[in-house]
Amino acid sequence: MTPDSSNVPRGEATRAALIKAAIDIFGRDGFDAASTRAIAEAAGTNQALIGYHFGGKPGLYLAVLQDIVDRVGQRIGPLVSAIGTEFCPEPGAGSKPSAKRAEALLHQLVDAVLGMLTSDESAAWARLILREQQDPSEGFDLLYEGIMQRVLFVMTRLIGCIRGAPADSAATRLTAFTLIGQTLVFRVARATILRQMNWSELGPEEVAAIRAQLHRNVTAILMEQTGL
């Protein structure tokens, strides 16, 4: 229809290219060490356009964080939403799902998080999140509310259902953190793990082995208190 070869508004392609490049470079070097020159070059555009589109380096950084939230949402959002509607306590709603169902969904959730954290794509933005955790900036709220809070909410519901314990108790929440930790370690301590296992990458075979181990651990941890 329009004379443009593409159908994005005029400078939208530039905006997207800058964000895409910025994820890599902010992720690799951190906010301070990353240079707007390098980002513009990687994006195939001009350095001055960062000021035009985002107001400056900090504005670009915030746009990058929002983009990460969107990417993660596309990956695990559907599963998280599905669990949320099934397990969110609605007064007068249908019968409560069984613990078996909750356990199956918890395994799915852990698998989804593991798949995300071991993907090559996650290497860049996982670093950004790690940095924000160590030294939260004003952008941390975006990540917390867009990712962590959502995942932890449904995870504590599942654990509470399996154990027959309150989802908001300290023990339930701490259990959720340890489940996340077991998964997170394969991204965070990746260099140590590759060296220790004599692996060269986290390919499908390696991820399958990890998945099996996590499955056993999740079952063991959740069965434990159920029997008390």
Partner DNA sequence: GTCTATAGTCGGATAGAC
Partner DNA sequence: GTCTATCCGACTATAGAC
Where do contacts with DNA occur on this chain (CB under 7 A)?
Answer: 9-11, 13-14, 34-38, 45-53, 56-58
Task: Collapse the DSSP code of 36 into the 3-class scheme (helix H, G, I; strand E, B; otherwise coil) and give the result.
Answer: helix
Residue 172 has which token pair? 């339930």
- Name which of 68 and 126 has its Cβ closer to a copy of itself: 126
Cβ pair 165, 228 in contact under 8 A: no
Q: What angle do CA 213, 125, 9 make, to 5 degrees?
A: 135
Helix (H, G, I), strand (E, B) or coil at 32: helix
Residue among 40 and 158 whose Cβ is closer to DNA: 40
Interacting positions 104-133 with a copy of itself (CB under 8 A): 126-127, 130, 132-133
- Output Rg (C-alpha) for the chain, integer angstroms: 21
Picked from a copy of itself, DNA, none, the partner binding residue 226 (CB below 5 to 8 A depending on kind) is: none
Q: Which region among 14-22, 49-57, 99-107, 135-143 touches a copy of itself (by CB under 8 A)?
A: 135-143
Q: At closest approach, how far in Å is the CB of 143 from a copy of itself?
A: 9
The 10 Å Cβ neighbour count of residue 200 is: 8
Hey, what are 84's tokens? 């949320």
Under the criterion CB under 8 A, does residue 192 sit at the interface with a copy of itself?
yes
Exposed/middle/buried for residue 32 (C-beta within 10 Å: 0-12, 13-18, 19+): exposed
- Here's the x/- map for a copy of itself, 22-61, by CB under 8 A: it reads as ------xxxxxx----------------------------
Does 138 contact a copy of itself by CB under 8 A? no
Please tell me whether residue 98 binds a copy of itself under the rule CB under 8 A: no
